[in-house]
Amino acid sequence: MGFNRPPPDAPERLVKRDTLWRTFALYRPYRRRLAGVIGSVLVNASLGVIPPLLVATIIDDAIPNRDTHTLLTIVSIMLGVTAASGGFNLLQAHLNTRVGLSVMRDLRGRLYSHLQRQPVSFFAGTRTGEIQSRLTNDVTNTQLVLTDTISTIVSNAAVVIASVIAMVIISWQLSLVALGVTPIFVFFTVKVGRRRRRLTRETQQAVAELTASAGETLSVSGVMLAKTFGREREQLERFDATNEELTRVSVRQQMTGRGFFVLVQTFFGMAPAIVWAFGGWLLFNERGGLTVGEIVAFTAIQTRLLFPLAGLLNRGVDVTSALALFERIFEYLDLDPDIKDPVDPVPVNPATVKGEVAFRNVDFQYDAARGIEDSFGLEDVNFTAAAGRLTALVGPSGSGKTTIGYLMSRLYDVDSGSVRIDDVDLRDMALRDLSTLVSVVSQDPFLFHASIADNLRYGDPTATDDDLARAAKAAQIYDTISGLPEGFDTIVGERGYRLSGGERQRVAIARAVLANPRVLVLDEATSSLDTKSERMVQRALGELMDGRTTVAIAHRLSTIIAADQILVVLNGGVVDRGTFDDLVSRSGLFRQLYVEQFTAIPTDLPLLGEDSRPVSGSDSGRDRIPEPAD
């Protein structure tokens, strides 16, 4: 199974320097704290050079001359410097941790906020696990870079620079011996970093695949599907294969460059012996003007240089490999949402909106933005849904009914033409204002893994307990909720699976009641329910529809007999319109649907709209199921 690739709209990321500078830019809001970190690092690095330099004075002057005062003074200075260094270390760690974790929090929040602004098409074409992996795994794995890297690099660089300067001051000859091969190490560090970067990206793709696989197969729907089809073993085999691939790539990533760094550490471990040999030769031959104390001080500084220099090389590899993580994050941050607020949105007052919905010459293709011809969508759709009335959409599956509903709530934007509410183009409204005007009750409503009360308040966060009760009563679900041991505090489970289909529908209807929209879209809200549940949901919908503009996408014709207007949709266009009786008598497609469904239907189902408005042109639909015309 192949790993997830970046979304097709993601720009190519070829320039590492761009990624590096954008990563540094994340620290801009915390530059004062960062300056404190760097300042404490520089002071600490400077203090660290002092004790080795004082060793030479102790060996060459204080001890040979038995100068107790000088010895105690130097020792006191060394102790004070060491104590001060510890204090600056603590300050550096505190500031560094605060800055790093704050940057990571900002990056995670920025990514989540940006993803929320992406259109539905992005989520329809991207696995949820891939998105979750970038939001959690990728951001979390940048913690080492964000919390330690800058301070570590600055600290190690300061120590290395100060140490090299001190070593050169003591003896430039010994410095050449000690540091001569360092450029070779830097060259191989760059090569190792590039390879580790590529493997890091492969590893994160493997993690995303594993996350996506686990998320799908361990969800309630995935588990039920595997159990009912007896596919648990196949699911486990697929997971094991993905898990094995992740392990293989991770091992390669972790082991890349290990041998090189062992070589680096080995050389630096051997370097003091080489310095002693060369320094002894210079001392024996009276060359370079060296003393024993200076050689001791040089080797002490060199030993102190070992770990910072090795750490600097190693952290360089870490930074290079971490760029792959930031590239994956920036790929999402660089996506430009197709649907966004206008620069100067038209002000909307829900209290004065009548709710008339009009489609004017609407064309739409799902893949038009990608240049794919013959993509399914809508073509030249025109109709008006009168304010406060019921308009029904009927037609075969795949004819475009749900697409019309998507465009009404601006989950997608039209390619040409316009969708209007009270003659205001939806694209001229702020998205938040539009969401207060239009609500959708779908065939499979989504409920969060939270209490019933929390799910209801998604429609109105300010709703009181009394408001929840009124909405539940309007949705015919209050008695059911009251009968639960924890009432409105009952946790509904993932996607509401602890509730039946009809109960989930009625909770969703109660949520829409609280939202109090002017325009209501019913997307086959009862087609999957049994007769009893459908009867209760239809009564709840009658309460919800009262006084609102309602567009009902209907599968069962029996539920929309009382509609003021029925639109027959076929192949992405409205091919006929009229009342129920009109269409039965003259529309070939509607009559075909009618004959297929009205051979045996329950006659006691409430009709959408029956309690709130008369049937346009006739009231016969209220009292009987029409017979097929001859």
Instruction: Report yes or no on 168 lying in a domain.
Output: yes
Q: Look up the CATH number of the domain holding residue 166.
A: 1.20.1560.10
Angle of helix 292-333 versus helix 150-170 axis, rounded to 10: 150
Q: What is the rounded average pLDDT of the residues 529-533?
A: 67
pLDDT at 144: 65
List the CATH number of the domain containing 400. 3.40.50.300
Per-residue pLDDT reduced to its tens digit, 307-330 = 677 666 666 666 776 777 788 888
Domain shared by 432 and 314, yes or no:
no
More confident residue, 365 or 547: 365
pLDDT at res. 372: 45
Widest pairwise Cα distance in the chain: 128
Is the dihedral angle over the CA atoms 46, 47, 53, 57 positive or is it negative? Answer: positive
Residues in the chain: 630
Residue at 11 is within a domain:
no
302/399 same-domain check = no
Regarding whether 407 and 290 lie in a shared domain, the answer is no
Answer with the one of 278, 310, 333 that is the final residue of a domain: 333
Strands, sheet with 416-421, edge to edge from the N-terminal-most edge strand: 377-385, 357-365, 416-421, 424-425
Q: Which two tokens stand for residue 565?
A: 């207007």
What contacts 72, CB < 8 A, 6 or more positions away? none
Of 281, 307, 333, which residue sits at a domain end?
Answer: 333
Cβ atoms of 37 and 151 closer than 8 Å: yes
Per-residue model confidence (pLDDT) at position 424: 93
Mean per-residue pLDDT, 377-404:
90
Whether residue 86 is contained in a domain is answered as: yes
Q: What whole-number distance in Å separates Cα of residue 490 and Cα of residue 484? A: 7
Q: Label residue 484 by pLDDT band (50, 70, 90).
A: confident
Burial environment of residue 373 by CB neighbours within 10 A (0 to 12, 13 to 18, 19 or more): exposed
Q: Are residues 484 and 609 in the same domain?
A: yes
* Mean pLDDT of the 44-49 span: 76
Q: pLDDT class for 150, splitting at 50, 70, 90?
A: low
Tell me if 352 is assigned to some domain: no
Residue 187: per-residue pLDDT: 66
pLDDT in tens, 26-37: 888 888 888 888
The verdict on 317 and 381 lying in the same domain is no
Look-up of token digits 């005062």 = 69
Is residue 358 a part of any domain in this protein?
Answer: no
More confident residue, 571 or 130: 571
Q: What are phi and psi of 440, to 5 degrees?
A: -125, 130
Residue 593 or residue 226, greater confidence? 593
Band (626; pLDDT cuts 50, 70, 90): very low
Of the candidate ranges 64-73, 191-200, 224-233, 466-475, the one whose mean pLDDT is the lowest: 224-233
DSSP secondary structure letter of residue 137:
I
pLDDT at 620 (0 to 100): 34
* Domain count for the chain: 2
46 plus 128 within the same structural domain? yes
What confidence score (pLDDT) does residue 411 get? 87
Per the CB < 8 A criterion, the answer to whether 422 and 428 are in contact is no
Taking residues 180-199, report their average pLDDT: 66
pLDDT at residue 285 is higher than 80: no
CA-wise closest residue to 387 among 365, 412, 358, 429: 358
Average pLDDT over residues 278-297: 74
- Own/partner contacts of 92-97, CB < 8 Å, gap of 24 or more, are 92/37, 92/40, 92/41, 92/44, 92/151, 92/155, 95/33, 95/34, 95/36, 95/37, 95/40, 96/37, 96/147, 96/148, 96/150, 96/151, 97/147
Give the range of the structural domain holding residue 454, as residue numbers without chain letter: 369-623
Q: Does one domain contain both 307 and 436?
A: no
The most confident of the ranges 181-190, 273-282, 286-295 is 273-282
pLDDT for position 12: 41
Q: Check residue 220 and give its pLDDT.
A: 57
For 158, 164, 318, 406, 456, the CA distances from 177, given in Å and listed in that order, are 21, 12, 28, 73, 74
Residue 347 lies in a domain: no
441 near 409, Cβ under 8 Å?
no
Average pLDDT of the residues in 376-402: 89
> Between vectors from CA 107 to CA 101 and to CA 112, what angle results, nearest 5°?
125
In this prediction, residues 447-467 reach a mean pLDDT of 89
In a domain, 256, yes or no: yes
Q: Virtual CA dihedral for 98, 101, 104, 108, nearest 10 degrees?
A: -110
Three-state DSSP at 292 gives helix
Are 309 and 398 part of one and the same domain?
no
C-beta separation of 302 from 271 below 8 A: yes
Looking at the fold, whether 561 and 613 belong to one and the same domain comes out as yes
Given 333, 359, 388, the domain boundary residue is 333
* Weakest mean pLDDT among 156-165, 233-242, 601-610: 601-610
Q: Report residue 427's pLDDT band, with 50, 70 and 90 as the boundaries.
A: very high
Q: Are 139 and 322 in contact (CB under 8 A)?
A: no
Are the beta carbons of 573 and 379 closer than 8 angstroms? Answer: yes
- The angle at the Cα of 228, spanning 222 to 234, to the nearest 5 degrees, equals 65
Q: Looking at the structure, do residues 391 and 506 belong to the same domain, yes or no? A: yes
- DSSP helix, strand, coil percent of the chain (3-state; round to 5): 60, 10, 30
Q: Is residue 338 in a domain?
A: no
- Take residue 233 and report the two structure tokens written for it: 């073993």
| pLDDT at position 240 over 90 | no
- What's the average model confidence in pLDDT over 401-411? 90
388 and 325 in one domain?
A: no
Mean pLDDT computed over every residue of the chain: 76
Q: What is the pLDDT of residues 82-123, one digit of tens each?
A: 888 888 888 877 887 788 888 888 888 888 888 888 888 788
Same structural domain, 264 and 387: no
